[in-house]
């Protein structure tokens, strides 16, 4: 480990972030979960009110099929809303947490949809006194919109398979991202079936109107925030590539210029989804964090060569037009719980958002520490900038450089406590590869920092 620490505190670095923070509306995670749970209870109430009695095995199976179907349909709407990139959710809950909720909820929705299909077929087969295979054919060919709903279930299962942990790491981000658009198609195919065959909706105009409101509302939010807002921002801010600079082997920074960029209200630690309008990059929007404090006429991102898309960014030419979707993420100074001391822990390219936080997060001299883990001296990104910031802010800067077999495990409670005095009194921000981040978070908890004061951003999709 080597240490760099000296200088005076920066003045005004956190002022812009604080102003942006005060002007941003944030949704509290507990409030969002409460709203989702209340909606699920209302769906169960809808089934209860539309079910006068249950008699016999066929009714029990069909009733269970209706419950699972209603919850699956509600769940699809919730999943789409979570990924609609609604600013209060992005800033308050955080994109990485929303993604985890989406992944967990997706598994439930796929399970509910499959259970609904099987239970309905079985229940109708019992009621009609026929076998399951014959009833499957009858339902798909005789009932309105059921065949489309069957295709929707198959699409959901397919999306669920490509999202499985065993398969997802084998896919490029762009492939995984575009396959998820089939969820929109599945929701559209299943919607007509819900209203035309669901007894809860056939007999109740109020229930039909409520369901239309739910789905149309989600569709409007998706269209506005995921499609129209990026276009509107592109026309307003006219982002272009200003220059590309090499930071380290396989790591480049892209500097972007534009008009009235302060109106984006971007905060240090946040990211945008960037679409570079070149022949081979325009079709994909990839998430990259800001690696410097946003300035009125300039933004900077820093990218490591991890695949075809990131590799092509090194060949960007000045003047290339850019569409930026965001800002997104809650990995910001606003997550602090008013603790005096701040610890930043970075691994590899995880330094990008922490570089911006290191420059801007409010802290008195001696109350800010950055721990930076890298495999080699050449992999240290922003070294000159970090040391200048550390000196200017009188902050502590620690490097842990070298392969694991040489340096050992730098993320143990004992090592961290030795490097950071009064460790348990710190607010911690952690960003880096999954294994490193998990080890750091576990060590920080074991050292006495409560989970609510440990903020973690994942680079996994």
**pLDDT score of 460:** 56
pLDDT per residue as tens digits for the range 314-359: 889 999 999 999 898 888 887 776 667 999 999 888 899 999 999 9
Query: Using an 8 Å Cβ cutoff, are 388 and 5 in contact?
Result: no
Full strand arrangement of the beta sheet holding 286-289:
286-289, 271-276, 322-328
SS3 336: coil
User: 444 by DSSP, 3-state: which?
Assistant: helix
Count the neighbouring beta carbons within 10 Å of the beta carbon of residue 24: 17
Residues sharing a CB contact under 8 Å with residue 423, sequence separation 6 or more, in sequence order: 343, 416, 417, 444, 447, 448, 449
Give tens-digit pLDDT for 381-428.
999 999 999 999 999 999 988 887 777 788 888 889 888 988 989 999
Helix (H) / strand (E) containing 26: none
pLDDT confidence of residue 257 = 95
Q: What is the mean pLDDT of the chain?
A: 85
pLDDT tens, residue by residue, 43-59: 999 888 877 777 788 88
Instruction: Give 259-284 pLDDT, tens digit per residue.
Output: 999 898 899 999 999 999 998 888 88
In this structure, the strands spanning 454-457 and 426-431 are: parallel
Q: Which of 281, 237, 236 is nearest to 257 (CA)?
A: 237
For residue 207, what pLDDT band results from cuts at 50, 70 and 90? confident
Weakest-pLDDT range from 96-100, 110-114, 166-170, 249-253? 166-170
Residue 217, number of CB atoms within 10 A of its CB: 12
33, 239, 300, 324, 379 from 244: Cα distances, Å: 42, 14, 10, 17, 18
Confidence band (pLDDT; 50, 70, 90) for 175?
Answer: confident
Segment 228-241 shows an average pLDDT of 92
4, 116, 176 from 188: Cα distances, Å: 57, 17, 20
> 296 by DSSP, 3-state: which?
coil
> Per-residue pLDDT for 19 more than 50?
no
Residue 248 and residue 378 in contact, taking contact as beta carbons nearer than 8 Å: yes
Measure the CA–CA gap between 392 and 370, rounded to whole angstroms.
14
Question: Cα–Cα distance between 301 and 271 in angstroms, integer?
Answer: 9
Closest CA to 411 of 376, 444, 451: 444
* Distance in angstroms (rounded) separating the CA atoms of residues 349 and 289: 10
Angular region, 356: left φ>0, alpha ψ -120 to 50, beta rest: alpha
- Confidence at residue 27, expressed as pLDDT on a 0 to 100 scale: 86
* Fold entry, domain 235-328: Elongation Factor Tu (Ef-tu); domain 3 (2.40.30)
Q: Are 161 and 167 in contact (CB under 8 A)?
A: yes
How large is the average pLDDT for residues 178-205? 82
Alpha-carbon distances, residue 343 vs 200, 218, 268, 365, 442 (angstroms): 54, 39, 15, 13, 15
User: In sequence order, which residues have a C-beta less than 8 Å from that of residue 161 and are 6 or more positions away?
Assistant: 167
Helical ranges in 300-446 per DSSP H = 308-312, 351-360, 383-393, 404-407, 413-419, 434-446
> 3: pLDDT confidence band, cut at 50, 70 and 90?
very low
CATH 3.40.50.300 fits 2-17+332-457, yes or no: no
Q: Report which of 421, 388, 180 is spatially closest to residue 284, judged by C-alpha positions.
A: 180
Closest CA relative to residue 336, chosen from 430, 424, 453: 453
For 238, which DSSP code?
Answer: -
For residue 24, the surrounding DSSP H or E stretch is none
pTM recorded for the entire structure: 0.78
């Amino acid at each position: 480990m080597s240490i760099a620490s000296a200088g005076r505190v920066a003045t005004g670095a956190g002022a812009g972030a604080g102003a942006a923070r005060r002007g941003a509306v944030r949704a509290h995670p507990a409030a969002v979960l409460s709203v989702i749970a209340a909606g699920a209870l209302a769906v169960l109430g809808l089934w209860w009110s539309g079910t006068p009695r249950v008699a016999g095995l066929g009714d029990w199976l069909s009733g269970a099929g209706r419950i699972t179907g209603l919850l699956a349909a509600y769940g699809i709407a919730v999943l789409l809303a979570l990924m609609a990139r609604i600013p209060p959710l992005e800033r308050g809950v955080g994109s990485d947490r929303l993604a985890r909720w989406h992944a967990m909820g997706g598994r439930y929705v796929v399970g509910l949809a499959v259970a609904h299909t099987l239970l309905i077929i079985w229940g109708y087969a019992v009621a009609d006194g026929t076998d399951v295979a014959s009833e499957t054919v009858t339902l798909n060919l005789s009932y309105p919109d059921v065949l489309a709903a069957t295709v929707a279930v198959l699409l959901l299962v397919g999306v669920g398979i490509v999202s499985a942990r065993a398969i997802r790491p084998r896919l490029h981000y762009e492939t995984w991202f575009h396959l998820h658009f089939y969820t929109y198609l599945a929701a559209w195919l299943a919607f007509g079936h819900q209203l035309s065959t669901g007894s809860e909706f056939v007999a109740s105009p109020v229930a039909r109107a409520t369901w239309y409101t739910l789905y149309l509302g989600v569709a409007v939010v998706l269209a506005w925030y995921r499609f129209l807002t990026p276009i509107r921002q592109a026309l307003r801010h006219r982002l272009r590539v200003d220059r590309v600079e090499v930071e380290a082997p396989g790591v480049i920074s892209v500097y972007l210029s534009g008009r009235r960029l302060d109106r984006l209200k971007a905060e240090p630690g946040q990211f945008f989804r960037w679409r570079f309008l070149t022949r081979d990059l325009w079709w994909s929007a990839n998430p990259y964090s800001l690696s410097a404090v946003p300035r009125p006429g300039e933004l900077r991102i820093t990218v490591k060569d991890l695949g075809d898309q990131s590799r092509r960014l090194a060949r960007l030419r000045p003047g290339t037009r850019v569409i930026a979707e965001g800002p997104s993420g809650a990995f910001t100074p606003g997550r602090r719980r008013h603790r005096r001391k701040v610890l930043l822990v970075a691994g590899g390219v995880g330094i990008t958002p922490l570089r911006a936080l290191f420059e801007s997060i409010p802290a008195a001299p001696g109350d800010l520490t950055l721990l930076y883990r890298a495999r080699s001296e050449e992999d240290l990104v922003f070294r000159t900038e970090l040391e200048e910031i550390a000196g200017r802010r009188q902050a502590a800067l620690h490097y842990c450089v070298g392969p694991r077999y040489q340096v050992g495990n730098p993320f143990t409670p004992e090592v961290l406590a030795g490097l950071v005095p009064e460790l348990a009194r710190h607010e911690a921000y952690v960003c880096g590869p999954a294994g490193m981040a998990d080890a750091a978070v576990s060590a920080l908890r074991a050292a006495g920092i409560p989970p609510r004061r440990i903020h973690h951003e994942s680079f996994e999709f």
